[in-house]
Amino acid sequence: MIRTWKNRFRQSIQLRLTGYFILILIPLVVISTFSNHRSRTILKNQIGDRTQSAMQSVVHYVDLTMQGVYELTTVLANNYDINRRFEYAGKVLTPQSILDFQWIDQQIAAISSVNRMAPKASLFHYDSGILLSTTGYQKEQNPEQLEWVKQAIEADGKITLFFPEENRYNANHMIDPIYNKNVMVVMRRMSLLNPERNKNIVILPLSKDYFVSQLRRLLPSSHAEAFLFTQDGKLIATTASSTATPPSWPDEGKDLIAGYLPGYPERMLMVRVTSQDSGWKLVMIQPEKDILQESRTLQGWTYLIIAVSVLISLWISWIVYSGISKPMKKMVAAMKEMRRGQLDIQIIHRREDEFGYVMDTFNHLASAQRHLIEDVYEKQILLTKTEFKLLQSQINPHFLYNTLDSIYSAAVLSDADDVGEMVINLSKFLRYSLGKGKEHYTVSETFNHLNYYIKVQQRRFDFEVTYRMGEGTEDILLLKLLLQPLVENAILHGLERKHGGRALEISAVNDGEWFIAEVKDNGVGMAPDRLQYIQQQLDGISVMNWDLSAGRDRMDAELYGLRNVKSRLKLHYGENADLVIDSDELEGTRIRLYIPRVECGSIQYMEGTGHEFNDRGR
């Protein structure tokens, strides 16, 4: 590929001019692209810094809110009166314990009312399994098996967070204050000053909607999403859908990342802020295109300038090429055509400058050369046709000798009827060959003529012959004696040297734009070097070489028939007509004649099925 373009660049003036003009534009394109990319990077960093500042404010506000919640749990856990009444209550509640729980319930409501983040504060009495809340009482069976109870006790007085994974309903068909997926439960054990620390628990369910409302204020567009995580990576709240999967942070060493993320079809900008007090992390994801919306106009103008510059360069190179290089290209193309034999080539132009004078001179020389060659060519064609007519009036001496030998042998060894059959076939064959000046016969007539010749040859040795005429080929006109030399070669050089199982096949078919005639034998075939030699000799035959008859003395006698067939084929049917030989040693030989369908005449076009018949010598 590189070599191909290198050769084109070296051989084309227009391509070089265009390349030089574009080369001048490369610094402009590079600088413009770099400036555009740099401005986009600066814009992303500036927006990222502003976003981080806003997110830091939200995180700080959440820390202050949670600090108030933690202080409320401390107040409830260290309330002396509540702890004392819990200590007097046992597993079985007495009337006094019930009165004490009512008093505690009032205290919970009074204390939690000062903090709007925890309006549903609860206390859990472990021994009785009673959960006291502002919404009523709830009896828990087997509290030692409850997940949130185990988590609070294991924390040993420290604040712990519990995230329910499902909704549960109590006996009043209300959502359980603990098992509610829309809340985050803050818990700690009570009586922090008691060294032994009982298992009673302070519970503050916090609605996630509060955190979501704070996150929504932070979003710069409807396509942005925010996620709030705890220090250990548990999701607290998000503005995304409930089924959305929180993204993992690609690089822990960076707080600002731009790129493609799993689950997002476009490039995204990720910004992260971590609280220094609680360790909570706030992550916001926003499509990069929303951030760079303002820079798109500038980017569009930049690309437009580059495109216009390239078009101007191409236009200028075309003007230069049309004025100087295009005339030279016309002359080069004309010279190439003349070199390939197109002698009637003329350069059409309207120039009156030096290039016009040179092109007029070329036209004059081409015209003079064409007239000179036409004179020589017409004489050569006349000579060739004369030789062909002389050839048609003669019969192969070898064939006559073999026929006479066959007649003599048949007369001695056979009845007179056999001799008569050979003589009549020979008579019909000679009558067709002479033809009384007729140059063309139909495919059907040609096959009948070949059959006369083959019946005579079958008297010399036994072989099977098959004729096949494809659909619509019977009435196609074919040049006289075009197939006979091929059949003769197949019999004499192929089948005669083979022992047993001899077969000859002659066929004619229409294949699209081509008429194909084929002579195929299963004889001794040809060695590869012999086949290559014959093909090389026949490849030199062309209408354009003006010498169809030359070189006869340089070729062996066996090639004379093939050379004659190909020469007549090219002369009568044009340069596209061809003769192709395929042969495998000891397997047989196949010779095909390819004739353009438009060059084949027909006495009548007929629709019908193909014909096939066999004839085997007796």
Task: Burial-class residue 360 by CB neighbours within 10 Å (0-12, 13-18, 19+).
Answer: middle
Question: Does residue 152 sit in helix, strand or coil?
Answer: helix
Closest among 89, 92, 91 to 102, alpha carbons compared: 89
CB count within 10 Å of CB 89 equals 20
**Dihedral sign computed on CA atoms, order 34, 36, 41, 42:** positive
* pLDDT on residue 425: 66
* pLDDT on residue 418: 61
Query: What residue type is assigned to position 558 of the chain?
Result: E
**H helix runs in 556-617, sequence order:** 560-573
Greatest C-alpha distance within the chain: 151
**Angle of helix 208-216 relative to helix 13-77, nearest 10 degrees?**
140
CB 510 within 8 A of CB 590: no
Closest among 417, 423, 418 to 404, alpha carbons compared: 423
CB 244 within 8 A of CB 238: yes
Closest among 591, 596, 481 to 538, alpha carbons compared: 591
Residues contacting 612, CB < 8 A, separation 6+? 466, 467, 468, 469
Predicted TM-score (pTM) above 0.75: no
How many angstroms separate the CA atoms of 179 and 165, rounded?
A: 8
Give the pLDDT means over successive 10-residue stretches in the chain (618 positions): 72 68 74 69 68 85 86 84 83 84 82 70 86 79 85 86 83 76 87 66 86 85 86 86 72 79 80 87 83 66 78 75 74 82 79 79 83 71 61 53 60 60 64 63 90 85 92 88 90 88 93 92 92 88 56 58 86 88 93 90 46 42
Host H or E run for residue 282: strand 281-287
* pLDDT on residue 389: 60
Encode burial over 157-190: b for 16+ CB neighbours within 10 A, e otherwise.
eebbbbebeeeeebeeeebbbbbbeebbbbbbbb
Residues contacting 576, CB < 8 A, separation 6+? 594, 596
**Bridge partners (DSSP) listed for residue 286:** 269
Host H or E run for residue 130: strand 130-133
How many angstroms separate the CA atoms of 58 and 226, rounded?
A: 11
N-term to C-term CA, the chain: 64
Contacts of the segment 406-411: beta carbons below 8 A, 24+ positions apart = 406/456, 406/459, 406/460, 410/459
How many angstroms separate the CA atoms of 402 and 453, rounded?
A: 12
* pLDDT on residue 340: 79
Query: What residue type is assigned to position 378 of the chain?
Result: E
